Chains A and B, each alone.
Chain A
Amino acid sequence: MPDTLCESVPAALLHKEITALGLKHVLTVPDTAQKTFMASLRDDPAITTHTFSTEHEVIACNAGMWIGGMDALVLIQNTGFFAGVNALRGIAIDRKIPTFLVIGQFAHDVTVPVEEDPNTAVRLIKPVLEAMEVPYFIVDRPSDVGALPRAYAQSRAERRPVVCLLTAPTA
């Protein structure tokens, strides 16, 4: 087995953080890297998963739900992030909508640093987030799950999108 620079985070650990935040709604275009996390959330009768055709819709729907008084988790993968960039800009950023995103680094080669991954979806997401002035937290291992409540709180306090990037597939 090659050495890895990150560790899978158990779905139960992530799920516990979402429950602790009181979130009842998950808006998603499914993420291959978060299969187990999504399955865990879907099995929870206290949480409703809403599946969309595109990440653009996910970000727009999150805005509408927040306007209507409801909070949600946006769960997508890195490739979908790129598909949703215009909504992230035009809705979440320009209109100051609290948007809490957990994004899986789908197809990341965990034996190389993200910055050296040949897959552009993996390698370019951080520079694009930085260019868009979107704060992000890296979740490399189970001990990093505290980033989720911090990201959620920042998205509400500063009324902007804040991202948690999961470096390895969830366990």
Chain B
Amino acid sequence: MDVPLSWYLVVAAALFCIGLAGALSRRNAIAVLMGVELMLNAVNVNLLAFWRHVEVVKATLSGQAFAIIVITVAAAEAAVGLALAIALYRTRRTVDVEDVDLMKL
């Protein structure tokens, strides 16, 4: 393998941390969702990098199968999350997560 496993792991860690910073620091609910998508992508890069470098020897495909399940969950999460954002905008005319504190004591 030309590209060592550690390169993928470092890039995936950076991607995850950038997504985390975005999810924590953005005010817009849709931007928070975008940060979560970035984090899920980083996880997928990790899964496939480990599959290619460790698991190919055993001739199984669980890394790819896991990544497919993660993509499915990400798609479901994006659909429901964006539906929530649209419903929120329709009723409260805002998508700022700070303005939506109904369940805070």
| Bound pair (A, B) | no
Residues of A in contact with B (beta carbons under 8 Å apart): none
